[in-house]
């Protein structure tokens, strides 16, 4: 009997239906010479120092460098202790028993680095010696699964991928354990979490935050002149910017005195814009965040559901290209979209059999090709699933579409010796932009105008001229979209699409892990969301200020480690060499962090905790929080757009309720209101409104 092991029960069910394993058992399905079982994602982690007899958070024990790592079944927290997950233990027993009576294994975990690690850790932990083959597919459609079973590959072909995955797992352990314990010892209070990838990511967020907050805006003035030709009015901006309003007023007087402007130059240029490349996961996450405000984790979850629902190809891909053989299937996939309400008209009106080959390159396809749809109809999707599906489908049409051709016009104008300019753009061929009727984003400083036909020497009237007061702006705070871009390029500012593709192997994290890294920063209370922006908490800033100049926060160095892991996977670097380098690195960062001074919060305002009774509530700039990690009492200063003062918060903590506070803003109506803030029975903050004038009861809302 052949044992097939999938990564999740849902995937196992799809595979079982194809191979005829229709008899449902406890933890597996059986039939037709197969038993199909499953994991629940990662069933194992690397054991903590105490499992090796090493006492944690002892300076003399650092750095902790192991000769051999132990696997530990996934843990769950019960009270203050961690114990083996009973569901995992039960499923491992099923898998072990199946392995004992099987003749061989077909590995059907997700076809990627982490999927390989999931199986290999199970294989190692159970002491299995059965031969195994690999099912490597890029979608879960019936056809893809059937084709995959016809081309099973020897398990040994993926030994390098396993070596890379194992090296990543051990490197994260070595760096995370040693750096976290070293900083915690140095701080002398609390437990501080650092990591090989999470700390450089935090540094990217915090450095932008500090740069933004420290930015000193400068006021400048610019002239905006309105003129017209043939009843078409348009605006032009002064080429020069002025530091003083008085000087701008002198210049505007000169312009108005001139009465007319002369067109001194007209430059027209035809611009051909190639279609964008297909999506990889990171690009999909970036654009879903920009368009819909989806977090990276939410986009990945939706894409994974679409993949398991057989609607799109494997989402955790880092490639934006497809191979020639996949291109052959593209016309059929495009044809399935003819009935789609967004794309049917475009396909019928513009699409022929010629596909733009820009996204086709066998050499640039990594473990998986770029994201594309499958032949299965996209029916029964939720609203959010439909949005992500439409992004993938629409990008596929764009990528295979024709060039977009525009004519850009730059006009130079003189008014009494003052130089002005404007730009105009006319689309000659919509090409790929017609898929979503895409428009260029306007530029705040120099909006593209609708221009009449202008020629050099034209004399036009001055209809109006005004002074615009503006301020220089800092670079915006990071959103998840911009953060993902920075992670992909290891903190480098890279706008060009092809340049980003060239350096992405040196990025920090992988397409499959970046979402979880960002979520880790949220769970550690290092960052919060303010609308779309990512803002560090006081705790996050304390960590950043302590480590910003240390190797642990160096995004470029982390990118080099990621590149090394890719080389292990490709067989051009051996894992032991990488491991030795990580050990040296872990030792160096441990030494650095043990000598680090971290800001103490003990001198902040504190109050006894009303919830747990034995902790202290500490006042931070954005939040007050109990220092007892098992308590969880947290109150944000900003409630309904009102910042609570230390005095108001002290009243809430000490008395369970504030006095009446004015200036809260309703999220529904935008109107202001007054209320007291109090704790409910779960120590969550709720509003308590004053009595109605007619003596009615107080209203309470969360």
Q: Which residue numbers are catalytic?
A: 314
- For residues 575 and 163, is the Cβ–Cβ distance under 8 A? yes
Nearest CA to 384 out of 278, 282, 299 is that of 299
- For residues 413 and 420, is the Cβ–Cβ distance under 8 A? yes
Pairing assessment for the beta strands 260-273 and 459-461 based on DSSP bridges: antiparallel
Nearest CA to 174 out of 57, 43, 62, 50 is that of 62
- For residues 640 and 664, is the Cβ–Cβ distance under 8 A? yes
d(CA 375, CA 144): 10
**R_g (Cα) of the chain, nearest Å:** 30
- For residues 207 and 201, is the Cβ–Cβ distance under 8 A? no
Three-state DSSP state, 655: helix
Q: How many CB atoms lie within 10 A of CB 600?
A: 12
Q: List the structure tokens of 14.
A: 């799809």
Measured between alpha carbons, how far is residue 574 from residues 4, 382, 583, 584 in Å?
A: 30, 45, 15, 16
In the chain, the N- to C-terminal Cα span, in Å, equals: 58
Q: List the structure tokens of 358.
A: 């820009």
- What values do phi and psi take at 78, rounded to 5? -120, 105
- What values do phi and psi take at 236, rounded to 5? -130, 155
36 beta partners: 4, 29
d(CA 213, CA 205): 12
Q: List the structure tokens of 498.
A: 């092809």
Nearest CA to 479 out of 429, 532, 525 is that of 532
d(CA 294, CA 554): 28
Q: List the structure tokens of 57.
A: 């958070």
Measured between alpha carbons, how far is residue 319 from residues 305, 322, 360, 566 in Å?
A: 20, 8, 11, 13
- For residues 343 and 395, is the Cβ–Cβ distance under 8 A? no
d(CA 440, CA 450): 14
* Site of tokens 């979850």: 301
- For residues 359 and 370, is the Cβ–Cβ distance under 8 A? yes
């Amino acid at each position: 009997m052949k044992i097939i092991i999938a990564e999740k029960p849902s995937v196992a069910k799809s595979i079982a239906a194809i191979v005829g394993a229709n008899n449902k058992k406890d933890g597996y399905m059986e039939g037709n010479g197969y038993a199909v079982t499953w994991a629940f994602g990662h069933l194992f982690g690397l054991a903590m120092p105490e499992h090796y007899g090493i006492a944690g958070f002892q300076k003399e024990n650092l750095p902790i460098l192991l000769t051999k790592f132990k696997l530990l079944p996934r843990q769950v927290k019960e009270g203050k202790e961690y114990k083996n997950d009973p569901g995992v233990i039960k499923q491992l027993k099923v898998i072990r028993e199946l392995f004992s009576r099987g003749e061989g294994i077909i590995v059907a975990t997700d076809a990627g680095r982490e999927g390989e690690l999931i199986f290999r850790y199970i294989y190692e932990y159970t002491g299995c010696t059965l031969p195994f083959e690999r099912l490597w597919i890029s979608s879960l459609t019936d056809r893809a699964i059937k084709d995959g079973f016809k081309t099973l590959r020897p398990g040994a072909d993926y030994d390098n991928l396993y070596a890379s995955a194992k090296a990543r797992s051990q490197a994260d352990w070595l760096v995370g354990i040693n750096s976290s314990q070293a900083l915690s010892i140095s701080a002398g209070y609390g437990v501080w979490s650092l990591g090989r990838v999470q700390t450089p990511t935090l540094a990217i967020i915090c450095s932008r935050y500090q740069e933004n907050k420290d930015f000193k805006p400068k006021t400048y003035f610019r002239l905006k002149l309105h003129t017209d030709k043939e009843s078409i009015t348009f605006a032009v901006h002064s080429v020069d910017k002025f530091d003083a309003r008085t000087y701008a007023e002198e210049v505007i007087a000169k312009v108005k005195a001139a009465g007319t402007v002369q067109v001194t130059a007209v430059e027209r240029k035809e611009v051909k814009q190639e279609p964008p490349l297909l999506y990889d996961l990171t690009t999909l996450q970036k654009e879903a965040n920009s368009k819909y405000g989806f977090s990276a984790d939410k986009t990945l979850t939706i894409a994974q559901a679409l993949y398991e629902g057989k609607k799109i190809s494997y989402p955790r891909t880092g490639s934006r290209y497809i191979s020639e053989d996949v291109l052959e299937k593209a016309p059929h996939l495009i044809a399935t979209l003819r009935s789609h309400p967004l794309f049917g008209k475009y396909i019928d009106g513009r699409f022929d059999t010629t596909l733009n080959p820009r996204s086709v390159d066998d050499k640039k396809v990594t473990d998986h090709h770029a994201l594309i749809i499958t032949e299965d109809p996209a029916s029964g999707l939720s609203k959010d699933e439909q949005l992500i599906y439409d992004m993938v489908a629409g990008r596929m049409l764009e990528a295979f579409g024709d060039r977009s051709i525009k004519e850009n016009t730059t006009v130079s104008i003189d008014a009494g010796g003052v130089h002005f300019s404007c730009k105009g753009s006319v689309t000659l061929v919509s090409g790929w932009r017609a898929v979503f009727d895409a428009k260029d984003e306007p530029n705040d400083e120099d909006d593209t105008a609708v221009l009449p036909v202008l020629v050099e020497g034209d004399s036009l009237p001055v209809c109006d001229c005004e002074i615009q007061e503006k301020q220089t702006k800092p670079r915006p705070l990071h959103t998840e979209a911009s953060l993902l871009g920075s992670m992909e390029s290891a903190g480098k500012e890279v706008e060009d699409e092809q340049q980003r593709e060239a350096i992405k192997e040196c990025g920090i994290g992988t397409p499959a892990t970046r979402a979880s890294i960002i979520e880790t920063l949220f769970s550690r209370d290092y960052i919060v969301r303010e609308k779309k922006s990512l803002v560090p908490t006081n705790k996050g800033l304390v960590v950043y200020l302590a480590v910003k100049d240390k190797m642990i926060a160096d995004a470029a160095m982390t990118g080099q480690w990621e590149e090394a892991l890719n080389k292990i996977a490709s067989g051009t670097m051996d894992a032991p060499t990488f491991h030795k380098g990580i050990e040296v690195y872990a030792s160096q960062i441990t030494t650095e962090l043990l000598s680090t001074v971290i800001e103490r919060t003990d001198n902040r305002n504190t109050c006894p905790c009303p919830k747990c009774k034995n902790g202290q509530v500490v006042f931070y700039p954005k939040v007050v929080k109990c220092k007892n990690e098992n308590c969880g009492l947290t109150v944000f200063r900003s409630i309904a757009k009102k910042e609570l003062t230390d005095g108001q918060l002290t009243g809430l903590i000490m008395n369970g309720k504030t006095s009446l506070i004015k200036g809260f803003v309703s999220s529904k109506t935008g109107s202001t209101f007054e209320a007291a803030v109090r704790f409910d029975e779960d120590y969550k903050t709720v509003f308590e409104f004053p009595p109605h004038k007619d003596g009615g009861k107080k209203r309470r809302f969360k």
